[in-house]
Structure 1
Amino acid sequence: MQGGPSGVVLLTDRRVARGALVDVVAAAVGGGVRWVVLREKDLPRAERLALAVDLRAILADAGGTLVVAGPDPLDGDAVHLPAAGPYPPPAVGLVGRSCHDTAELARLTTEHYATLSPLYETKTKPGYGPVLGPGGLSELIAVSPVPVLALGGIENPDQVHACVEAGAAGVAVLGAIMRADDPRETATTLGRAFQEAATHLARTHPARSDASPHATGLRPTVPTEGSSLTARSGHGRPQPRTATTVGRSRQTTGEDQ
């Protein structure tokens, strides 16, 4: 498996979705989303596997990819792991890791990308933090060995623009799409914002947009509706006290995925 998540990446949560999870994901994919992270870790494996099959079918038709949260790829080839482990990562085609500070980024080995969170206050986890903000995100991206997705409280185009300007390869979104009255419209709006921000960055800072992905994140690109990618289908943790380059404390409230 080549490449990694970029653009708008959707994280699932059936408990907050306005409709059936499969329908919400299908709408988001119709709005241009090409990367989906299946969470729903509380489900029995058989139910989660059946859900993965359904979501892979939706994404395959659009040339997208399903990533499974946790070490079990559910018969696929892409996983997203919590900061707490396992280490080393499983040997699958694509591995992501949730990170929050320099200490967790330093533990990365064979992972292909990381999420950094929380960027902003989130409705899904009120009080979780401290928030990084675009400045903290930029600092961490500068020392990350892999491309980074910004995660946490990203709900509008201005926030998407700020994340791209900070160097993020993509934005991972949960509540903004899961809770949306029209998930397709929201996905389209956020995807358009990402494309605009990436285009602006390429024009105004060509050195940054063409830089090594290990320095500033994956070169900003976003699949638009109708675009084609190769179809692929395949958190509670103790918090270090170091966040960016200065010490922080973080409330332990469970995994971001």
Structure 2
Amino acid sequence: MPGSGIYLVLDSASCAGRPLAEIAKAAVVGGIRTVQLRCKDMPAAEFLQEVISCARHTSGHATLLVNDRVDVYLAARAAGADVQGVHIGQSDIPVALVRELIGPEAVLGLSAATAAEITAANLVNERTPGTIDYLGVGAVHATPTKADHPEPLGYEGLARIASSSALGCVAIGGLDASDIPGVVSSGATGMAVVRAICAAGDPRAATENLLTLWEGTTP
């Protein structure tokens, strides 16, 4: 399930010029089980081709999610790509409407960073169970991969949010292998990484290391 374990945000601006599909393939071989494809400034047609290319490597091995662009997700599905859902932010299309658009079987993740956003997400799922599958919570630390991130939470803030959420929480924001103990102790069910894999000299080895450390730290 995307709400648990190590979660790769495959960011087009963080791959040091390497093809996204190349990083996706290496991470899947390394054992990653969730890949969110984030291409913030990419035209829809180009983003669609990236989704299709990455899906060739994730299909049957990892859950592939599209960041923000519900239209790209729907187009990829129509093109026959094996993509499983979307992850949206607070300023995107309202989460209940996204669920209507993508259907009941797709995975739907929502970013949240404040107590009010957690309360709202809990309420949505109380009213219509299954609307949201998991929350992406952060930024835990300041990060250059998302310039508009909210005030960093730190581990204590992450723990407060995780304890108040009825959903699994995936921590995100400037995280790497050294953060695993703090993230696990906060009560988060998963940890999203960007540069720790995307910018690694050997993305497969980096993935394997992260997974080994996570599995060795979680109960």
TM-score (norm 2): 0.82
CA offset digits 1:144-190 (Å, max 9, x no partner): 1211000011112x311211111111111111111111111111111
| Aligned-residue offset at 1:45 | 2.1
- Residue in 2 aligned with 1:166? 186
Runs of 4 or more consecutive aligned structure 1 residues displaced over 3 Å after TM superposition: 125-129
Residue number in structure 1 paired with 2:207: 187
CA distance in 2, matches of 1:181, 1:164: 26
Alignment-mate amino acid for residue 31 of structure 2:
G
1:67 aligned counterpart, secondary structure: strand
Please report how far the alpha carbon of residue 126 of structure 1 lies from its aligned counterpart in structure 2 after TM superposition.
Answer: 6.9
2-structure distance, mates of 1:43, 1:125: 15
Look up the match of 1:64: 62
* Structure holding more helix per residue: 2
The two structures have a TM-score, normalised by structure 1, of 0.70
Counterpart in 2 of 1:47? 46
| Pairing 1:13-92 to 2, within 5 Å after superposition | 13-18=11-16, 19-61=18-60, 63-70=61-68, 71-72=70-71, 73=73, 74-75=76-77, 76-87=83-94, 88-91=96-99, 92=102
Match of 1:145 in 2: 166
Tell me by how many angstroms 1:125 deviates.
4.5
Measured after TM superposition, the shift of residue 41 of structure 1 is 3.2
Per the alignment, residue 128 of structure 2 pairs with: none
Per the TM alignment, residue 89 of structure 1 is displaced from its structure 2 partner at its CA by 4.0
Does structure 2 conserve the Cα–Cα contact (< 8 Å) formed by 1:10 and 1:37? yes
Change (3 A) 1:14 1:131: same
State the Cα distance separating 1:121 from its structure 2 match. 2.6
Residue 27 of structure 1 deviates from its aligned partner by 1.1
Q: Cα distance 1:141–1:179, how it changes in 2: closer, same or farther (>3 A)?
A: same
- Ranges in structure 2 where 5+ consecutive residues have no aligned partner: 78-82, 125-130
Higher RCO, 1 vs 2 (CA within 8 Å, ≥6 residues apart): 1
Percent identity reads 29
Cα distance 1:125–1:52, how it changes in 2: closer, same or farther (>3 A)? closer
Q: Are the counterparts in 1 of residues 20 and 54 from structure 2 also a CA contact under 8 Å?
A: no
Distance 1:128 1:52 in 2: 24
**1:120 positional shift:** 1.6
Is this contact kept in 2: 1:119–1:154, CA < 8 A? yes
The CA deviation at 1:124 is 2.6
Matches within 5 A, 1:87-106: 87=94, 88-91=96-99, 92=102, 93-106=106-119
2:119 is equivalent to residue 111 of structure 1: no
Provide the aligned C-alpha RMSD in A: 1.8
Per-residue CA shift, 1:182-222, capped at 9, x if unaligned? 11111111111111111xxx3xxxxxxxxxxxxxxxxxxxx
Distance 1:143 1:161, change over 3 A: same
Q: What is the identity, as a one-letter code, of the residue corresponding to 2:167?
A: V
- Partner SS for 1:180: coil
